[in-house]
Amino acid sequence: MIVARRFEFQAAHHLPNHPGKCHNLHGHTYRLEVFCEGPVEETSGMVVDFADVKALVRERVLDKVDHTLLNDLIENPTAERIAEWIWAQLEDTALPIAEIRLYETPTCFVVYRG
């Protein structure tokens, strides 16, 4: 069974190695989707509690990236590298993470499965 939760955060970045406009400082409203996968636990009837997903993602990711300059946290913060960084923040938690999706715009996103 897969359980997912969606989040949003605002952040700025610039891509120092990009030949186009993204070389310049600019911002995005990022949308993050965290997918957890596992069996449905017999007693609780859940794979994972949505509240636990929210708390861990807020503490480990959102509190660090929301309204920041991502270049201060991640070298050359492309969507791909941001997704890898997010995964690293969550991989040692109790969440059974299977996949994350990071949308840089409503139509452009990356999928990371560790």
List, by residue number, the catalytic residues. Answer: 22, 67, 104
Structure tokens at 19: 């030949």
Residue 51 CB contacts under 8 Å (≥ 6 apart), including other chains: none
CB 6 within 8 A of CB 39: no
| Phi, psi dihedrals of residue 79, rounded to the nearest 5° | -55, -40
